[in-house]
């Protein structure tokens, strides 16, 4: 497996990464009209700080994906403002790229061609772009699979290819919507380390949405705990754990477990509200939380 902290003598990385900052101020988002109006986001404010990895976590169905669409510019808020580097976001742009839950690789293109799709679509199939594609192939451990098609890649490999395809466009902010959700446990943990390593090298501004508390704590510089729908930020937790991070050691630290217990307590309160409204996902979380609490009591 490729060491993300090593650079090949034949690789040509970009000399720098432009990092942006997004500020969300008093944003609300509603759908429908009149008696059929449903408010999904309510008076929501937070910052995605420059050069930081901000992770958002909240109950399933609380409105996290709606916020992603607003940040990406696919939709506009009903009220409030979203600004990138002080300028209002009015639509999609290559300064913000989204990696979704579902694979978006073109199955008829090789791994290399998928990564090169953005530059080619812009008419920028240059020697510099091709060198960057080769660099990213090596960086995400797919150099030996450059001529393979997506169906020939494992789920984890496809996710790495998608990260490389986004990174070659050099966005100021990368937005990721539960990108490792469909992977098995082992592949998911490997992807956490891959992704953390990529971030620790570039310090590109990243906004990552998840429902997995371990994933959130392992990756985040700052953790945003969201309320039940209509969503807003319930609490912000600074994840002051040292980098680089390794799964073999990170959860042995007392501080990581303090953060986890604090976050779980808040998420449990919000899940209980969602559970009262009949959410099965919230019910599953409440049951899992109860089992975790019982195990903790047994230990003590």
Asked if the structure places residue 286 within a domain, the reply is yes
Q: How far is CA 149 from CA 153, 190, 242, in A?
A: 7, 21, 37
Asked if the structure places residue 11 within a domain, the reply is no
Q: Phi and psi at residue 210, in whole multiples of 5°?
A: -150, 165
Question: Per the structure block, which two tokens stand in for 276?
Answer: 């009262």
The label of the residue with tokens 């049951």 reads: 287
Residue range 88-101, pLDDT digits in tens: 999 999 899 999 88
At residue 272, does pLDDT exceed 80?
no
At residue 2, does pLDDT exceed 50?
no
pLDDT value at position 238? 96
At residue 10, does pLDDT exceed 50?
no
Nearest of 72, 74, 79, 73 to residue 41 by alpha carbon: 79
Render the chain in DSSP notation, one character per residue.
Answer: ---TT---TT----S------EEEEEEEEEES-GGG-EEEEEEEEEEE-TT-EEEEE--TTSSHHHHHHHHHTSS--SEEEEEETTEE--S-BTTEEEE-SS----TTS-HHHHHTHHHHHTT---HHHHHHHHHHHHHTT-GGGTT--GGGS-HHHHHHHHHHHHHTT--SEEEEESTTTTS-HHHHHHHHHHHHHHHHHH--EEEEEES-HHHHHHH-SEEEEEPSSSB-EEEEEE----SS--HHHHTTSHHHHHHHHHHHHHHHHHHHHHHHTT-HHHHHHHHHHHHHHHHHHHH-
How many Cβ atoms sit within 10 Å of the Cβ of residue 140?
26
Q: Which residue has the higher pLDDT, 97 or 289?
A: 97
Average pLDDT, integer, range 106-125 = 94
Distance of CA 247 to the CA centre of its chain: 18
Q: How far is CA 246 from CA 5, 43, 74, 218, in A?
A: 13, 36, 35, 8
Distance in angstroms (rounded) separating the CA atoms of residues 15 and 203: 13
Asked if the structure places residue 206 within a domain, the reply is yes
Q: HSE of 277 in the Cβ direction (CA atoms, 13 Å)?
A: 14
Contact in structure between 70 and 82 (CB atoms under 8 Å): yes
Give the pTM: 0.83
Residue range 127-157, pLDDT digits in tens: 999 999 999 999 888 999 999 999 999 988 9
At residue 299, does pLDDT exceed 50?
no
Asked if the structure places residue 17 within a domain, the reply is no
Contact in structure between 226 and 56 (CB atoms under 8 Å): yes
- Total domains, the chain: 1
Asked if the structure places residue 5 within a domain, the reply is no
At 108, which CATH number? 3.40.50.300
pLDDT value at position 292? 57
Domain that holds residue 275: 22-299
Asked if the structure places residue 1 within a domain, the reply is no
Average pLDDT, integer, range 44-61 = 93
Asked if the structure places residue 207 within a domain, the reply is yes
The label of the residue with tokens 């510099």 reads: 128
Ramachandran area for residue 170 (φ above 0: left; ψ -120 to 50: alpha; else beta): left
Residue range 210-235, pLDDT digits in tens: 989 999 999 999 999 999 889 999 99
pLDDT value at position 188? 87
At residue 84, does pLDDT exceed 90?
yes
């Amino acid at each position: 497996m490729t060491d993300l902290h090593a650079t090949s003598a034949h690789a040509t990385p970009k000399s720098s990464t432009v990092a942006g900052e997004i500020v969300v101020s008093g944003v609300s988002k509603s759908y429908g009209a009149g008696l059929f109006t449903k408010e999904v986001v309510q008076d929501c404010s937070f910052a995605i700080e420059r050069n930081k990895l901000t992770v958002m976590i909240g109950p399933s169905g609380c409105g996290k994906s709606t916020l992603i669409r607003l940040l990406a510019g696919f939709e506009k808020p009903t009220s409030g403002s979203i600004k990138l580097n002080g300028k209002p976001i009015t639509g999609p742009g290559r300064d913000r790229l989204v990696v979704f839950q579902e694979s978006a690789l073109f199955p008829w293109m090789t791994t290399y061609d998928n990564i090169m799709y953005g530059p080619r679509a812009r008419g920028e199939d240059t020697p510099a772009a091709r060198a960057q594609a080769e660099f990213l192939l090596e960086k995400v451990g797919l150099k030996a699979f450059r001529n393979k098609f997506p169906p020939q890649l494992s789920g984890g490999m496809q996710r790495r290819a998608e990260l490389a395809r986004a990174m070659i466009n050099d966005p100021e902010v990368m937005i990721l919507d539960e990108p490792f959700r469909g992977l098995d446990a082992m592949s998911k943990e490997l992807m956490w380390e891959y992704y953390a390593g990529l971030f620790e090298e570039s310090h590109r501004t990243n906004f990552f949405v998840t429902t997995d508390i371990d994933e959130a704590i392992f990756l985040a510089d700052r953790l945003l705990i969201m309320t039940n729908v209509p969503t807003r930020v319930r609490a912000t937790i600074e994840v002051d754990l040292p980098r680089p991070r390794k799964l073999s050691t990170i959860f042995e630290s007392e501080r990581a477990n303090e953060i986890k217990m604090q976050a779980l307590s808040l998420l449990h309160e919000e899940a209980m509200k969602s559970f009262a409204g009949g959410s099965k996902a919230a019910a599953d979380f409440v049951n899992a939380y109860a089992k975790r609490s019982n195990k903790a009591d047994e230990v003590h």
